[in-house]
């Protein structure tokens, strides 16, 4: 039996994009703070000499490090949880240890190619077969050529 995976495909997270508003705020504040510290260091160097403004240079380095951490905190995040193709298919067809027999294995965020060779455990029996893909519909075909039935919910 072929199962429609349209809902699963639509539930997958999109690419991560940095929030433009936060990025602009971080960029403006970061550049402003760096210029203020740099201007203060230059004033101290002119009036006190190089030896006396080492603390200012250290502050500039610490500020740059802190700004970098602030920027990183807005660009990284946790990825939303979702079922991979393997997890979805194992639950749908009541199999376990599904493996695509190609170089990259089963894709996690998309459907595999039609007629991808695969192996899985069905109960305690090892099965070698294929993953059939027709548009957004997916089916598992055992070595006997028969489509697996969907697990009853």
The predicted-structure confidence for 49-60, as pLDDT tens digits, reads as follows 766 677 777 777
Q: Predicted confidence band at 3 (pLDDT cuts at 50, 70, 90)?
A: very high
CB 102, CB 122: distance < 8 Å: no
Quote the CA–CA distance of 131 and 139 in Å, as a whole number.
6
φ, ψ (nearest 5 deg) of residue 54: -65, -35
The predicted-structure confidence for 4-37, as pLDDT tens digits, reads as follows 999 988 888 765 545 556 667 767 877 787 778 7
Tokens of 108: 């996690």
Q: What is the pLDDT of residue 108?
A: 84
Beta-carbon count within 10 A of 19 CB: 12
Q: What is the pLDDT of residue 141?
A: 94
CB-based contacts of 18: which residues, under 8 Å, 6+ apart? 74, 75
Within 13 Å, how many C-alpha atoms sit on residue 135's CB side?
6
The predicted-structure confidence for 68-88, as pLDDT tens digits, reads as follows 777 666 655 555 577 889 999
The predicted-structure confidence for 82-133, as pLDDT tens digits, reads as follows 788 999 999 999 999 999 998 888 988 889 999 999 999 998 899 999 999 9
Please tell me the pTM assigned to this model.
0.58
CB-based contacts of 92: which residues, under 8 Å, 6+ apart? 3, 138, 150, 151
CB 111, CB 138: distance < 8 Å: yes
Q: pLDDT over 70 for what percent of the chain?
A: 80
Q: Is 13 helix (H, G, I), strand (E, B) or coil?
A: coil
Tokens of 28: 């403006």
Q: What is the pLDDT of residue 40?
A: 75
Q: Is 46 helix (H, G, I), strand (E, B) or coil?
A: helix
Quote the CA–CA distance of 10 and 13 in Å, as a whole number.
8
Q: For residue 6, what are the CA distances in angstroms to 12, 110, 123?
A: 10, 11, 27
């Amino acid at each position: 039996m072929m199962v429609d995976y349209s809902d699963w495909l639509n539930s997958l997270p999109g690419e991560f994009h940095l929030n433009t508003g936060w990025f602009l705020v971080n960029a403006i504040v970061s550049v402003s703070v760096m210029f203020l510290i740099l201007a203060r260091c230059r004033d101290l160097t002119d009036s006190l000499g190089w030896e006396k403004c080492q603390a200012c240079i250290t502050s500039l380095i610490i500020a740059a490090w802190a700004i970098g951490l602030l920027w990183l905190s807005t660009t990284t995040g946790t990825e939303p949880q979702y079922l991979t193709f393997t997890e979805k298919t194992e639950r749908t067809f009541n199999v376990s240890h599904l493996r695509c027999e190609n170089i990259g294995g089963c894709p996690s965020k998309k459907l595999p190619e039609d007629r991808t060779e695969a192996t899985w455990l069905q109960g305690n029996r090892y099965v070698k077969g294929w993953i059939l893909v027709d548009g957004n519909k997916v089916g598992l075909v055992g070595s006997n050529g028969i489509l697996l039935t969907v697990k009853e919910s």
